[in-house]
Structure 1
Amino acid sequence: MNLTTLSVFALVALVAIATPGPTVLLALANGSRYGVRRSLPGMFGAVMSDFVLVGAVALGLGALLAASEFWFSVVKWVGAAYLAWIGLRLLRSNGALDLSQPGADIGDAAARRVFAKSFLVAVTNPKGYLFCSALLPQFIDAAAPQWPQYVVIGLVFAGLDFAVMLGYAMVGARAVRLLRQRAVRWLDRSCGAALLTLAGSLAFYRRSAS
């Protein structure tokens, strides 16, 4: 893989990542509720899922989902149900949060929940596997060792994903500084509605449409 190929991949991946989806919406909501620093565990969870997706493509699991209606449906419904659950929780938010120590760390249990939420949202989305299965092999040189190339692609993809989520979290945190609790309520409910919409679109997403 040469630098030109990697640059083209980075550009395509950046466009795909920056398009509002479940993980960036969670980064936006986390930024508004916890601030940028305390929303970092969620970003790390999403980055971890990136490595899972890239590894799954390298192992051929993305192709399995593309070929198996059963396994595709299992992942799809688990992902749709989890997205809907998070969306409903955000819709019911009253905007309550503790702004007394905006720079403080959240507790270990809360950090694990933030991490797990973002990780599970990304790793249970079959669209991610199908997208990566269609995209990544186009940038792999079949004549060269493939695993090192997948490692490089995974690092670039994860780095871009982290940068985009960091930007969304900063937007959310900025909105809180401007409008405080009203902004949190507005962002929570907007993100909740968007996640419910994504859950509905995922529920009706068909493998044949990939």
Structure 2
Amino acid sequence: MSFEHWLAFAAASAVLLAIPGPTILLVVSYALGHGRKTALATVTGVSLGDFVAMTASILGLGAILATSAEAYTVLRWIGGAYLVYLGIRLWRAPVGDGPLADNDNLREQSPLRIVLHAFAVTALNPKSIVFFVAFVPQFIDATQPFLPQMIVLEATFVTLAAINALVYALIADKARVFIRKHTVQRAVNRTGGTLLIAAGAVTAGYRKIAA
């Protein structure tokens, strides 16, 4: 793989990842509710989710989802339902009267639980898997060995995804300083919950565009 191919892939991936989606909404909601102490768990979950989705695409799952309506429907309904569940939980989350801080009185979340949430939201997105099938081959040099190129591309994408999630988490953590009123905290929870529910509905209702 030439440096030009890699650079084009890295640039396209960075632009794609910067666009907020269900994964970033989850990362931001955890950071707003619990601060930067959740960043490691959410970044780990996002990285593992992207790794699994990209690997599954490489191994052929993406091709199956692209051609099998039944498999695609099952996966998008599972992913959509999980996003709706998380959105409802965030909507109903309790809020406090004081400013949010790392020593607040919000109920603690197990790091493993956060990792699994972020992993599920990232990996159970059928559009991501189908996207990898359509996106990655454009940067493969057919004259070069396949496996080394895939290792480089996958490592690049997962690393950029982790950095992107970390940046969003840190930004959201800084925003917590300005969230002091009970009504503002509730509005943040309900806005984030609504967006997650909407993302779940869109995921569940997504239809592949016929070629």
TM norm structure 2: 0.89
Between 33-42 and 59-68, report the one with greater CA deviation: 33-42
In structure 1, how many angstroms separate the alpha carbons of the residues matched to 2:185 and 2:210? 36
Q: Which residue of 1 aligns with 2:113?
A: 113
Q: Which residue of 2 aligns with 1:144?
A: 144
1:7 corresponds to which letter in structure 2? L
Shift of 1:181: 6.0
In structure 2, how many angstroms separate the alpha carbons of the residues matched to 1:209 and 1:17? 25
Q: Does the C-alpha gap of structure 1 residues 95 and 58 become closer, same or farther in structure 2, counting only changes over 3 Å? A: same
In structure 1, how many angstroms separate the alpha carbons of the residues matched to 2:144 and 2:102? 54
In structure 1, how many angstroms separate the alpha carbons of the residues matched to 2:103 and 2:210? 47
Shift of 1:94: 2.6
TM norm structure 1: 0.90
State how 1:53-202 maps to structure 2 within 5 Å.
Answer: 53-96=53-96, 99=101, 101=103, 110-180=110-180, 182=182, 184-202=185-203
Percent of pairs identical after alignment? 33
Unaligned stretches of 5+ residues in structure 2: none
Shift of 1:150: 1.3
Equivalent pair of 2:100/2:177 in contact (CA under 8 Å): no
Q: Which residue of 1 aligns with 2:27?
A: 27
Equivalent pair of 2:13/2:157 in contact (CA under 8 Å): yes
Q: Look up the SS of the partner of 2:143 in the other structure.
A: coil
Between 64-73 and 193-202, report the one with greater CA deviation: 193-202
Equivalent pair of 2:95/2:186 in contact (CA under 8 Å): yes
Shift of 1:37: 3.0
Q: Aligned-residue CA RMSD in angstroms? A: 2.1
Across the two proteins, how many residue pairs are aligned to each other?
Answer: 206
Q: Look up the SS of the partner of 1:11 in the other structure.
A: helix
1:60 corresponds to which letter in structure 2? G
- Give CA deviations for 1:57-94 in whole Å, capped at 9, x if unaligned: 21111011001011001101000100100011111123
In structure 2, how many angstroms separate the alpha carbons of the residues matched to 1:100 and 1:146? 46
Between 192-201 and 113-122, report the one with greater CA deviation: 192-201
Q: Which residue of 2 aligns with 1:18?
A: 18
In structure 2, how many angstroms separate the alpha carbons of the residues matched to 1:65 and 1:209? 13
